[in-house]
């Protein structure tokens, strides 16, 4: 029994260490070339494309295959099989070239479809504009032959629709994968963080853009009356189709560069833009109202009313500029609060200027006072009172939210002193001592976004990074949501009917 076992082990060892045979160029005379599979050469018959085992790389076995399965070719010279081999390789290279070319066309189709989705254009723009433009430009730059190749890129309406649907599916899968990765782990993953959140303070914040809009909305009864009168004038012209057309013709005749805008209460910037446009088209509006014998024209003959309209146009324009500066991606509570604080400082400067009868900060108001015989006492108390109330409202809405003195270390970790972090725990202070002395991190801080910088320190400085991320992580505005709604309204138009909105919406919004 022992000898039998020894013999079996020896046979297995020999089989395992079997020498792999190599292909010889002389084997072409038997009609065989070779391919490599799993680091092993195997003979390939040029006549029937059968692949034999590595053990068959012997002249006798290759000759037997030729004689038994292709006996009519047994006497053919080696040059005959060499010619077949060359033809086969040419066909293979041609197929590979055609495959790679077609792959490029498909990739170009996907890239163009993604751009169409990102720009929220109708899907048929691919075949109606993008492809014809690409063909024309290629013809001018590279010639007609290259231009004809461009026509092979599939960009029909249905193709673009399928491409965008495929992009959407891929982005969704990537998003799900990222969420799954984030949720792994009992302590370090998302589940662990949620479980431990009950012991940690959670930061809540209102949308800072909405808060700014609420502050801008508050007006004194005198100024609000002017706004209501202005809205009546605009509605008299714009809410009636006939009046709107007649006024547009009047503006064309007077070569006006602007059009009257309707006021929409839910749009943050609407009030300021509508009043500004009404002021710019003052002459045209007076003529139109006079021709239609409207009592609303009397407002334009009251200098006090016009002066208040000028001020409202100016101050709302500045509030609109602040609102726009608060919008955008990758904002955090520090950047937006800095802009609010800067605006409050400007308001205080304007209050001092107004109290000294200086209105140069409000261009329309300043020009009106300079060109009309109106005493500043008529408007000064109204402007001063409104600006003071703006300061109070801004302070009421924004200042209690954040104590900058205790959080300066997040914005300026390499500048603030150790005294500014005495309110932190011992572990956090020790980590801060190491971090603030790291010259490499100091260089990274200068070129990275604030959130990116602190996220990168979660492993090396976990306590400090966690404290910083809790402040930086909450969304400070609903800008991304508002952008999504705007994108949706752009996609869902009478020119583009999409049953599954998600298919077109995700590629237009995400950068995955």
Distance of alpha carbon 429 from the chain centroid:
37
Angle between helical axes of 333-355 and 462-472 (0-180°, round to 10): 50
Residue 109 is predicted with a pLDDT of: 92
Please, which pLDDT band fits residue 14 given cuts at 50, 70 and 90?
Answer: very low
The answer to whether 331 and 477 have CB atoms below 8 angstroms apart is yes
* pLDDT tens-digit series, residues 167-199: 988 988 888 888 777 665 545 555 555 555 545
Q: Which pTM was predicted?
A: 0.62
Inform me whether the pLDDT recorded for 16 exceeds 50. no
> Using CA atoms, how far apart are residues 242 and 238, in angstroms rounded to an integer?
9
Residue 348 is predicted with a pLDDT of: 94
Nearest Cα residue to 487 out of 209, 169, 160, 120:
120
Domain limits of the chain? 20-76, 211-401, 403-472
Selected residue with higher pLDDT from 76 and 13: 76
Inform me whether the pLDDT recorded for 402 exceeds 60. no
Selected residue with higher pLDDT from 161 and 480: 161
Residue 328 is predicted with a pLDDT of: 80
Selected residue with higher pLDDT from 196 and 353: 353
**Length reported for the chain:** 512
Which range is least confidently modeled, 220-229, 419-428, 495-504?
A: 495-504
As given in the structure block, the two tokens for residue 52 are: 């034999």
Inform me whether the pLDDT recorded for 467 exceeds 80. yes
As given in the structure block, the two tokens for residue 439 are: 């010259």
Cα-Cα-Cα-Cα dihedral sign, residues 142, 148, 154, 156? positive
Angle at 250 between CA 246 and CA 256, to 5 degrees: 135
As given in the structure block, the two tokens for residue 334 are: 């520090």
Inform me whether the pLDDT recorded for 9 exceeds 60. no
Mean pLDDT of 43-59: 89
Report the 3 state secondary structure along 429-477: HHHHHHHCCCHHHHHHHHHCCHHHHHHCCCCCCHHHHHHHHHHHCCCCC
Inform me whether the pLDDT recorded for 6 exceeds 70. no
Residue 11 is predicted with a pLDDT of: 46
Mean pLDDT over each residue of the chain, to the nearest integer:
83
Residue 266 is predicted with a pLDDT of: 52
Selected residue with higher pLDDT from 200 and 211: 211
Please, which pLDDT band fits residue 121 given cuts at 50, 70 and 90?
Answer: confident
The answer to whether 50 and 33 have CB atoms below 8 angstroms apart is no
Inform me whether the pLDDT recorded for 98 exceeds 70. no
Inform me whether the pLDDT recorded for 21 exceeds 60. yes
DSSP code per residue over 243-276: HHHHHHHHHHHTT-S-------TTSTTHHHHHHH
DSSP code per residue over 333-376: HHHHHHHHHHHHHHHHHHHHHHHTT--TTSHHHHHHHHHS---G
The answer to whether 311 and 362 have CB atoms below 8 angstroms apart is yes
As given in the structure block, the two tokens for residue 509 are: 């919004």
Question: What are the residues whose beta carbons fall under 8 Å from the beta carbon of 288, sequence distance 6 or more?
Answer: 237, 243, 246, 247, 250
Which range is least confidently modeled, 163-172, 183-192, 328-337, 346-355?
A: 183-192
DSSP code per residue over 158-184: HHHHHHHHHHHHHHHHHHHHHHHHHH-
Nearest Cα residue to 70 out of 30, 13, 126, 23:
30
Angle between helical axes of 208-217 and 303-326 (0-180°, round to 10): 170
DSSP class of 407 = H
Distance of alpha carbon 332 from the chain centroid:
17
> Using CA atoms, how far apart are residues 88 and 90, in angstroms rounded to an integer?
5
DSSP class of 22 = -
The answer to whether 435 and 471 have CB atoms below 8 angstroms apart is no
As given in the structure block, the two tokens for residue 73 are: 């070719």
* pLDDT tens-digit series, residues 260-311: 666 565 566 678 888 888 888 888 888 988 888 889 889 888 889 999 999 9
Mean pLDDT of 18-28: 85
* pLDDT tens-digit series, residues 300-324: 888 899 999 999 999 999 998 888 8
DSSP code per residue over 274-317: HHHHHHHTHHHHHHHHHHTT-GGGGGGG-HHHHHHHHHHHHHHH
Diameter over CA atoms, the chain: 126
* pLDDT tens-digit series, residues 414-457: 988 888 888 888 998 899 899 989 889 999 888 988 888 998 89
CB atoms within 10 A of CB 365: 24
Which range is least confidently modeled, 52-61, 250-259, 402-411, 487-496?
A: 487-496
Mean pLDDT of 87-110: 80
Residue 95 is predicted with a pLDDT of: 67
As given in the structure block, the two tokens for residue 116 are: 């169409």
Question: What are the residues whose beta carbons fall under 8 Å from the beta carbon of 129, sequence distance 6 or more?
Answer: none
Mean pLDDT of 201-209: 66
């Amino acid at each position: 029994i022992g000898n039998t076992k020894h013999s079996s082990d020896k046979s297995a060892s020999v089989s395992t260490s079997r020498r792999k045979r190599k292909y010889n160029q002389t084997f072409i005379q038997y009609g065989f070339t070779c391919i490599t599979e799993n680091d092993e050469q195997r003979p390939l018959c040029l006549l029937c494309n059968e692949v034999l085992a590595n053990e068959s790389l012997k002249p006798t076995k290759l000759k037997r295959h030729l004689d038994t399965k292709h006996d009519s070719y047994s006497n053919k010279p080696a040059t005959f099989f060499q010619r077949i081999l060359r033809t086969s390789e040419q066909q293979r290279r041609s197929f590979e070239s055609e495959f790679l070319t077609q792959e490029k066309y498909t990739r170009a189709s996907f890239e163009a479809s993604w751009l169409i989705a990102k720009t929220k254009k109708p899907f048929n723009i691919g075949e109606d504009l993008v492809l014809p433009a690409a063909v024309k430009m290629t013809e001018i730059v590279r010639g007609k032959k290259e231009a004809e190749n461009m026509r092979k890129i599939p960009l029909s309406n249905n193709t673009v629709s399928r491409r965008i649907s495929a992009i959407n599916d891929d982005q969704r899968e990537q998003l799900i994968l990222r969420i799954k990765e984030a949720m792994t782990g009992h302590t370090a993953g998302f589940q662990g963080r949620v479980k431990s959140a009950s012991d940690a303070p959670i930061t809540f914040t209102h949308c800072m853009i909405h808060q700014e809009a609420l502050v801008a909305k508050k007006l004194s009864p005198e100024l609000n009356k002017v706004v209501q009168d202005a809205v009546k004038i605009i509605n008299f012209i714009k809410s009636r189709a006939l009046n709107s057309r007649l006024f547009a013709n009047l503006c064309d005749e007077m070569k006006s560069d602007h059009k009257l805008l309707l006021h929409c209460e839910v749009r943050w910037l609407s009030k300021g833009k509508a009043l500004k446009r009404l002021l710019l088209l003052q002459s045209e509006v007076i003529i139109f109202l006079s021709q239609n014998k409207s009592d609303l024209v009397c407002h334009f003959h009251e200098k006090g009313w016009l002066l208040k309209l000028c001020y409202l146009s100016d101050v709302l324009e500045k509030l609109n500029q602040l609102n726009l500066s608060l919008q955008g991606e990758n904002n955090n509570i520090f950047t937006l609060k800095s802009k609010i604080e800067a605006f409050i400082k400007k308001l205080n400067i304007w209050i001092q200027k107004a109290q000294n009868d200086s209105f140069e900060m409000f261009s329309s108001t300043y020009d009106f006072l300079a060109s009309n015989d109106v005493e500043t006492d008529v408007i000064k108390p109204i402007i001063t009172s409104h600006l003071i109330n703006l300061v109070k409202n801004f302070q009421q809405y924004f200042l209690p939210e954040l104590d900058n003195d205790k959080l300066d270390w997040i914005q300026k970790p390499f500048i603030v002193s150790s005294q500014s972090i005495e309110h932190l725990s011992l572990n956090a202070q020790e980590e801060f001592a190491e971090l603030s002395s790291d010259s490499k991190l100091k260089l990274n801080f200068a070129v990275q976004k604030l959130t990116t910088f602190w996220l990168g320190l979660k492993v090396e400085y976990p306590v400090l990074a966690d404290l910083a991320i809790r402040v930086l992580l909450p969304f400070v505005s609903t800008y991304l949501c508002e952008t999504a709604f705007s994108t949706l309204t752009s996609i869902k138009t009478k020119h583009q009917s999409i049953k599954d909105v998600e298919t077109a919406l995700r590629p237009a919004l995400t950068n995955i």
